[in-house]
């Protein structure tokens, strides 16, 4: 170098710059090696994760039909505004809440709740922000796709209950799985995710596993703003299985009508085939509209209505047929009579017991309605003689009554295919408690227990089941709604990773009936008494249908002490029955809350059910001819 200047070490300085430049480039190379060669796969996955999105395709839920194939529940497509959680994960939700709630007409409270649920989800999953989006909502989402790319509109099936309040308790409803349920044992480890729709209450819950389909998904590529760029694959969903129930919609409508026209509009009507336990109708009033739970959970008005259901003192959400426990009153005398015969407290030849117009236990007189002399069992049933049963109860002893409770299964659930059935309470339940607090089980409690009061409360379904078994001369079937589930085809090719196998159809598996053993003559005696209630000047003679002999028993169950039994404390009115008396085709129970005498209120409702049944049974022939003629 001509300009070499040794004092300046110029060459060395130039060399130093060169070395530094090379060191810097080497540094870059080392970092590249670390990022690309050592961690290349990690970053490749990260890149894939942020561009691949799984969009679930909800599976249509199985429909529910009555026994004649009429629709009880189906699904219809609606538009939902769906929000995906990437992009929100780290953004503060506060400013979004205001935007969403004003844009989609939602309550800010609700929006922030949804966002907090969403944040707990895995990345790149989504949740419904607004169901049943209106045209305005859809337009708003489309117009704001740049500001809120996390929102999209999806066509999704929504559960629809065309019958409204009819049969609501039996059907139940569907809703989003709650955070609590997600963590409960019943749902944990079954692959449920927030936002999944499950059955809540009724058949929807009991048969959820079969009604629910298997969701599919769409795998898509999105850009940095979450906008879908292209579709990679689509895995179709598998629909749920259709459920054919044992319900007869015509009978159900009659039952609902009877309750709607009753004095208090509160009560239960159940109709069952005693030959196999198929429930033909089950109405509980007051009722609710399941559609409000399905559609209303995301709107302020809907939430208000739901809250009102919960607060309502008449408890419309309670399925009184399986969850209401009522003193059975005189209907209790039927199973008790069977128990007394079985245990030998009375015999067919010597079944007479003194009525005496009542009984004095200690210094307390408990009255009968009148003085029936010393009637045999059948007359005691027909006339509903309390005096007879006071003494019969004492004769059986509380142990005998408890044995009867066990014989008929009043100490267990009926086993009906609905969730949350209540177990009746009987002296068996209370024995320990009473002995502990009162020292012994006193006779007066036995006297009360013998006419279905005090320590006895039963569910209407348990009473119907017990009395039906009397009609069947001892064969006690499990009441149920399932007739059959329809099969569903497989999705995809076998061997395919997304293959979902077919699901077979199946019918209700009848277990062996509970057998209550009694001699034919003994059955005859009880049946004669029950037949007489309607057909031989008994307590319900007013509901007699000529040519179709109803066997039944009235009940007037005290709610409060004598003297206070007015207004809302009036007696519950019961009527439990089957018909025809000696070859039953249908059994019916009716309970009208706080309406007074069984014969006056419950019995006519039962008669209406049989009439409805007969119209269709006997009217079937001309009806088909008419159809054929057309």
10 scored as a contact of another protein (CB under 8 A):
yes
- Binding status of residue 83 toward another protein by CB under 8 A: no
Q: Residue 3 or residue 628: which is nearer to another protein going by CB?
A: 3
Strand pairing category for 243-245 and 64-65: parallel
CA dist 385 and 387 (Å) reads: 6
For another protein, which residue of 73, 171, 198, 222 counts as binding (CB under 8 A)? 222
Cα angle 178-179-184, degrees, rounded to a multiple of 5: 95
Q: Specify the length of the chain in residues.
A: 630
What binding mask, one character per residue, do residues 38-57 give for another protein by CB under 8 A, x or -?
-xxxxxx-xx--xx------
Of 12 and 135, which has the nearer Cβ to another protein? 12
Candidate residues 68, 70, 76, 91; the one interacting with another protein per rule CB under 8 A: 91
CB 195 within 8 A of CB 131: no
Which residue lies nearer to another protein by CB, 86 or 176? 86
If we measure between CA atoms, which residue out of 136, 334, 148 comes closest to residue 225? 148
29 lines the binding site for another protein (CB under 8 A)? yes
Query: What DSSP assignment string belongs to 122-136?
Result: PTT-EEEEESS--HH
Find the binder of another protein among 8, 134, 314, 566 (CB under 8 A): 8
Q: Which is nearer to another protein, 153 or 221 (CB)?
A: 221
Side-chain-facing half-sphere of 558: CA atoms under 13 Å: 13
* Structure-token pair, residue 161: 């209950």
> Tokens representing 571?
């007696």
Asked if 147 interacts with another protein (CB under 8 A), we say no
| 94 near another protein, judged by CB under 8 A | no
Closer to another protein by CB, 39 or 261: give it.
Answer: 39
Q: Least distance from C-beta 118 to another protein, angstroms? A: 16
DSSP for residue 38: I
Answer yes or no whether residue 219 interacts with another protein by CB under 8 A: no
Residues 591-610 that bind another protein (CB under 8 A): none
CA distance 578 to 441: 35
Sequence-ordered alpha helix ranges (H) in 188-237: 202-206, 208-211
Under the binding rule (CB under 8 A), the answer on residue 87 touching another protein is yes
Q: Closest by alpha carbon to 155, among 79, 60, 238, 235? A: 79
93 lines the binding site for another protein (CB under 8 A): no
Which residue is it, tokens 């005496």? 356
Q: Which of 76, 119, 120, 225 binds another protein (CB under 8 A)?
A: 225
Q: Does 7 bind another protein (CB under 8 A)?
A: yes
Q: What are phi and psi of 367, to 5 degrees?
A: -85, 160
Q: How far is the CB of 228 from another protein (least distance, A)?
A: 11
Is 35 near another protein (CB under 8 A)? yes
Q: Are the beta carbons of 467 and 587 closer than 8 angstroms?
A: yes
How far apart are CB 14 and another protein at their closest, in Å? 6
Told to check if 186 binds another protein by CB under 8 A, we report: no
Q: Are 529 and 335 in contact (CB under 8 A)?
A: no
**And the tokens for 448?**
């009360």
Site string for another protein, 413-442 (x = CB under 8 A): ------------------------------
Question: Contact, 330 vs 598, CB < 8 A?
Answer: yes
Binding of residue 122 to another protein (CB under 8 A): no
Handedness of CA 474, 533, 554, 562 (dihedral sign): negative
Cis amide prior to 20 (ω within 30 degrees): no
**3-class secondary structure, 415:** coil
Candidate ranges 36-44, 306-314, 328-336, 564-572; the one touching another protein (CB under 8 A): 36-44
Closest CA to 557 of 576, 534, 538: 576
Residue 184 in contact with another protein, rule: CB under 8 A:
no
**At its nearest, how many Å lie between another protein and the CB of residue 7?**
4
| Residue 13 in contact with another protein, rule: CB under 8 A | yes
Q: What is the C-alpha separation between 282 and 247, in angstroms, rounded?
A: 8
Of the two residues 52 and 504, which places its CB atom closer to another protein in the complex?
A: 52
Kindly tell me which residue out of 223, 312, 438, 496 binds another protein, with binding defined by CB under 8 A.
Answer: 223
Contacts of 324 (CB under 8 A, 6+ apart): 268, 284, 318, 422, 459, 460, 591
Question: Tokens at residue 43, please?
Answer: 């970053």
Q: In the bound complex, what is the minimum distance in angstroms from residue 54's beta carbon to another protein?
A: 16
Minimum distance from residue 45 beta carbon to another protein (Å): 9
Contact between 221 and another protein per CB under 8 A: yes
Cβ closest to another protein, residue 51 vs residue 265 = 51
Q: Which of 69, 90, 233, 495 binds another protein (CB under 8 A)?
A: 90
**Segment near another protein (CB under 8 A), from 29-37, 97-105, 417-425, 453-461?**
29-37
Q: Which is nearer to another protein, 97 or 222 (CB)?
A: 222
Listed ranges 224-232, 247-255, 272-280, 316-324: which one lies at the site for another protein (CB under 8 A): 224-232
Is 122 or 542 the residue whose CB approaches another protein more closely? 122
Residue 99 Cβ vs another protein, minimum distance, rounded to whole Å: 17
Is omega for the bond preceding 549 within 30 degrees of 0, making it cis? no
Nearest CB to another protein, comparing residues 224 and 621: 224
- How far CA 358 is from CA of 199, 352, 369, 447, 609, in Å, comes to 51, 15, 8, 10, 35
| C-alpha to C-alpha distance for 149 and 225, rounded to whole angstroms | 6
Under the rule (CB under 8 A), what is the footprint of another protein? 1-3, 5, 7-8, 10-11, 13-14, 16-18, 20-22, 24-25, 27-29, 31-33, 35-37, 39-44, 46-47, 50-51, 87, 90-91, 221-225, 229-230
């Amino acid at each position: 170098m001509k300009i070499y200047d040794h004092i300046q070490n110029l060459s060395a300085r130039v060399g130093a710059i060169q070395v530094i430049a090379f060191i810097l480039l080497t540094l870059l190379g080392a970092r590249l090696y670390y990022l690309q060669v050592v961690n290349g796969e990690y970053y490749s996955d990260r890149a894939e994760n942020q561009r691949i999105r799984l969009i679930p395709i909800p599976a249509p839920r199985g429909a529910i039909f009555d026994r004649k194939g009429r629709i009880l529940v189906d699904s219809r497509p609606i538009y939902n505004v769906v929000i995906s959680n990437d992009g929100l994960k780290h953004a503060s939700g506060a400013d979004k809440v205001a935007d969403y709630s004003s844009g989609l007409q939602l309550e800010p409270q609700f929006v922030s709740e949804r966002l907090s649920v969403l944040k707990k989800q895995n990345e790149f999953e989504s949740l419904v922000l607004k169901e049943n989006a209106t045209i305005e909502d859809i337009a708003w989402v489309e117009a704001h796709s740049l500001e809120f790319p996390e929102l999209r509109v999806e066509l999704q099936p929504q559960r629809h209950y065309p019958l409204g309040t009819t049969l609501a308790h039996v059907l139940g409803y569907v809703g989003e799985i709650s955070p609590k349920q997600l963590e409960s044992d019943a749902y944990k480890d079954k692959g449920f995710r927030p936002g999944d729709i499950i059955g809540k209450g009724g058949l929807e819950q009991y048969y959820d596993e079969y009604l629910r389909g298997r969701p599919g998904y769409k795998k898509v590529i999105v850009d940095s703003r979450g906008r879908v760029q292209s579709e990679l694959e689509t895995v179709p969903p598998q629909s749920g299985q259709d459920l054919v129930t044992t319900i007869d919609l015509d009978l159900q409508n009659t039952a609902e009508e009877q309750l709607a026209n009753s004095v208090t509009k509160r009560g239960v009507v159940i109709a069952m085939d005693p030959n196999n336990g198929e429930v033909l109708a089950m109405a509980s009033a007051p009722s609710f509209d399941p559609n409000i739970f399905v559609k209303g959970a995301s709107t302020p008005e809907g939430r208000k209505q739901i809250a009102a259901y919960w607060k309502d003192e008449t408890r419309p959400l309670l399925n009184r047929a399986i969850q209401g426990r009522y003193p059975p009153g005189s209907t209790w005398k039927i199973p008790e009579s069977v128990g007394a015969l079985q245990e030998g407290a009375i015999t067919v030849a010597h079944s007479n017991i003194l009525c005496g117009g009542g009984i004095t236990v200690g210094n307390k007189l408990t009255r009968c309605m009148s003085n029936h002399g010393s009637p045999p069992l059948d007359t005691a049933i027909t006339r509903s003689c309390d005096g007879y049963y006071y003494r019969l109860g004492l004769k059986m002893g509380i142990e005998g009554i408890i044995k009867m409770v066990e014989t008929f299964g009043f100490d267990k659930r009926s086993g009906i295919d609905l969730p949350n059935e209540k177990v009746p309470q009987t002296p068996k339940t209370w024995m320990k408690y009473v002995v502990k607090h009162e020292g012994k089980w006193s006779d007066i409690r036995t006297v009360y227990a013998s006419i279905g009061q005090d320590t006895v409360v039963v569910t209407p379904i348990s009473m119907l089941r017990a009395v039906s078994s009397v009609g069947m001369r001892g064969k006690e079937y499990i009441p149920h709604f399932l007739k059959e589930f329809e099969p569903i085809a497989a999705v995809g090719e076998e061997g395919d990773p997304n293959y979902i196998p077919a699901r077979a159809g199946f019918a209700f598996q009848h277990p062996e009936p509970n057998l209550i053993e009694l001699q034919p003559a003994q059955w005859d005696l009880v049946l004669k008494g029950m037949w007489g209630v309607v057909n031989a000047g008994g307590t319900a003679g007013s509901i007699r249908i000529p040519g179709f002999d109803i066997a039944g028993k009235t009940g007037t169950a005290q709610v409060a002490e004598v003297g206070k039994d007015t207004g809302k404390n009036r007696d519950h009115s019961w009527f439990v029955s089957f018909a025809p008396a000696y070859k039953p085709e249908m059994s019916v129970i009716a309970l009208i809350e706080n309406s007074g005498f069984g014969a006056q209120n419950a019995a006519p409702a039962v008669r209406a059910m049989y009439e409805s049944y007969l119209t269709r049974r006997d009217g079937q022939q001309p009806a088909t001819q008419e159809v054929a003629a057309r």
